Structure 1
Amino acid sequence: MNTNKITEILGDQSEFLLNHSCRTIDKSLIHAPSPTTIDDIWVPSDRNTRTLNSLQSILGHGRLANTGYVSILPVDQGIEHSAGASFAPNPLYFDPENIIRLAIEGGCNAVASTYGVLGSVARKYAHKIPFIVKINHNELLTYPNQYDQTLYGTVEEAWNMGAAAVGATIYFGSPESRRQILEISEAFAHAHELGMTTILWCYLRNEHFKKDGTDYHSAADLTGQANHLGATIQADIVKQKLPTVNGGFTALKFGKTDECVYSRLTSSHPIDLCRYQVANSYMGRVGLINSGGESKGASDLKEAVITAVINKRAGGMGLISGRKAFQKPMKEGVELLNAIQDVYLDKTITLA
């Protein structure tokens, strides 16, 4: 896809997103993804050689191979949102093999899913595309519904499966977050010992994070701090929702912040809000991947490209998009994944 096609897809958002110049956190401060990301960012770190190998296996795969950017297909929604809610729109994906096929045919760097999904086809596919095993989940069969992340297996099982990485979620802000931080810190340390990459879903979860009709679960200041905590427990990559608002700390009147966060380091522009997330990820040393969000039908392609442009121009590392791809026919899912990747392949779309 050329720049003109991307501009066409962006439509009325094209000028706003492609020509924005960030005047909050200067781009010179950002460790932007590049073909030499491993050498520049991770070789000086404490990560062992096998972990660097695993990270390179992800960065070196798919259509974005050796660009420093990633496009990941995540399909853990069968547990997180229930299999019926996730796969009924396209029953093809009740079969784990089709999930892997979509990731391969879609040119993804890796596929992220559950122990069950990846384990059921590991011997056939683990050497064909990097596996990211999600080691904990929320589930919606408990009545009434509860929201907690529970470990579903061990790091050793993921390693034996041939996985390149383990992924996990922490619900920062929830009553259970301290336990989850401890569990996942220990799991990530063990994964690094075995030479696997670590990816953390840095999500917020607290009923009090909604106030006066505004949902601060996607506030730039709160999600930025969640990213900072994720980087602290040595996630190599953090996954975060795209920020849609700001001022969570001030509106909810808790925690600590600084007025400069809102007057100098952010603005209302979505690229500036996302850049604050990148800044909290050690200025991009820990790669930020934004989530693609739920499928809304006809608008999915435009929304996916918008998210990719915001992430890339902010200094992010890529997109992890699932429902927008697998809740439609495979051909259309491949086309959507390729459209996301085309944003990162387009050298005219640069840091803002």
Structure 2
Amino acid sequence: MDTLKNNTEKILEYLGSDDSLLTFDQPKISKDRLLKPGPDYIDKAFGLSDRNVNTLINLSRIYNHGRLGGSGYLSILPVDQGIEHTGGSSFAPNPDYFDPENIIKLALEGGCNAVATTFGGLSLHARKYAHKIPFLVKINHNELMTFPNTYDQIMFGSVSDAWNLGAAAVGATIYFGSEESDRQIVEVAEAFEEAHELGMATVLWCYTRNSNFKTDQQDYHTAADLTGQANHLGVTIKADIIKQKLPTCNGGFKELKFGKTHPDMYKKLASDNPIDLCRYQVANCYMGKIGLINSGGASSGAGDFAEAVKTAVVNKRAGGTGLISGRKAFQRPMKEGIELLNLIQDVYLNDEITIA
């Protein structure tokens, strides 16, 4: 009881003025419509699906590993930023992480369900660690060495390579809304089909990307309606887990004057409350049958712990499945990174924090 009390007090301390997120109880979409995370999640979501036995085994490996094992929730450490943001900018705050073995050690010591990183980093250490923590191999990346910068996701390896590394899952990004998105959808859909045939799970980074999505007044890349639709496309190509940024606004389709909308999208299915906005993302993941994990975002230094708690509370209370947090954890000393990962996990382990 003392541990739970201290856990709750710490979460309340980090939430500060955002503690109303714990009492919000009027969601536009009822929790009764959702498949909620729990120990029987894989049976309910995938037991009658077309996923083969080995895919179910690997999903179980992921969901049953680490501090959140058996809860139906996920805490994943992703470290592919050395490609996406350059190694220098990613690892300068803590150069130890230029060594990819330390990435795996952080995930292990931090009690994560899985570690997501690159072919190169995992291939050096698969024999030592693949049986100790589930590997999630990121198969495509946006390389930023082209000048001027272009923004495209290209394949860095094959699904069979990931399988040979003993990976439990493959991960990929699609930039929905970009000029290259049609090709990316086809490439990733084919990769996910092969991954499922080989018995691996699939995780999709469902990001929106288009310069027209940002106006002088608002950045709609994280609008609930746009990200929700990206999620809906992601589950359609059979992602088993969706990674998405936490929504910060809504009404992107209306304000940008494209796509198709219905008034009920904004009146009956969402409000301005962060939990409602995130629940709209969950609803677009087949009402929670495909797990939604929100990203932890960039490191802002001293405020990282409070931001991580808030994101975890919003995701959990919305019906999401967990967090995938990287820079906030690895851009600091390992001990502090472990503390941050454990703090996120504590939100999901705390029975007092319920689905709204």
Q: What interval of TM-score do these two structures reach, taking the shorter chain for normalisation?
A: over 0.9
SS at match of 1:298: helix
Distance 1:312 1:127 in 2: 29
SS at match of 2:76: strand
TM superposition shift of 1:243? 0.1
1:123 match: 127
TM superposition shift of 1:38? 1.1
Amino acid at match of 1:310: V
Output the TM-score relative to the length of structure 2: 0.98
Distance 1:60 1:185 in 2: 26
TM superposition shift of 1:40? 1.1
Q: Which of 15, 25, 47 lines up with 1:10 in the alignment?
A: 15
TM superposition shift of 1:212? 2.8
SS at match of 1:283: coil
Structure 1: gaps (5+ residues): none
Residue 333, structure 1, aligned to residue 323, structure 2: no
Distance 1:252 1:12 in 2: 32
Residues 93-145 of structure 1: CA distance to partner in whole angstroms, max 9, x if unpaired? 00000000000000000000010111111111111100000000001111110
Amino acid at match of 2:261: T
Q: Which of 194, 199, 210 lines up with 2:198 in the alignment?
A: 194
TM superposition shift of 1:264? 0.9
2:145 match: 141
1:153 match: 157
- The structure 1 segments of at least 4 consecutive aligned residues displaced by more than 2 Å after TM superposition are none
Residue 46, structure 1, aligned to residue 50, structure 2: yes
Number of aligned positions between the proteins: 351
Distance 2:286 2:73 in 1: 17
Greater Cα offset, 155-164 or 205-214: 205-214
Distance 1:239 1:114 in 2: 17
Residue 169, structure 1, aligned to residue 173, structure 2: yes
Distance 1:212 1:96 in 2: 40
Distance 2:157 2:14 in 1: 41
1:218 match: 222
Q: Which of 281, 292, 305 lines up with 1:288 in the alignment?
A: 292
TM superposition shift of 1:170? 0.2
Distance 2:212 2:293 in 1: 26
Amino acid at match of 1:350: T
Output the TM-score relative to the length of structure 1: 0.99
2:256 match: 252
TM superposition shift of 1:3? 1.3
Distance 2:303 2:10 in 1: 16
Distance 2:54 2:128 in 1: 23
Residues 261-311 of structure 1: CA distance to partner in whole angstroms, max 9, x if unpaired? 111100000000000000000000000000000000000000000000000
Distance 2:16 2:211 in 1: 36
SS at match of 2:302: coil
Distance 2:150 2:93 in 1: 25
SS at match of 1:274: helix
Amino acid at match of 2:226: L
Amino acid at match of 1:349: I
2:211 match: 207
Contact 1:312 1:351 in 2 (8 A): yes
CA RMSD of aligned residues (A): 0.6
SS at match of 1:168: strand
Contact 1:22 1:271 in 2 (8 A): no
Distance 2:142 2:216 in 1: 27
Distance 1:147 1:257 in 2: 28
Distance 1:199 1:235 in 2: 6
Residues 233-277 of structure 1: CA distance to partner in whole angstroms, max 9, x if unpaired? 000000000000100000000010111011110000000000000
Residues 43-95 of structure 1: CA distance to partner in whole angstroms, max 9, x if unpaired? 01111111000000000100000000000000000000110110011100000
2:83 match: 79
SS at match of 1:271: helix
Distance 1:24 1:88 in 2: 43
Distance 1:81 1:257 in 2: 34
| Counterparts of residues 172-183 of structure 1 (less than 5 Å) | 172-183=176-187
Greater Cα offset, 118-127 or 240-249: 118-127
2:66 match: 62
Distance 2:165 2:311 in 1: 32
Distance 2:150 2:278 in 1: 30
TM superposition shift of 1:213? 2.4
Distance 1:40 1:293 in 2: 30
1:31 match: 35
Residue 319, structure 1, aligned to residue 312, structure 2: no
Amino acid at match of 2:139: I
What is the percentage of aligned positions where both structures have the same residue? 68
SS at match of 1:170: strand
Distance 2:315 2:212 in 1: 28
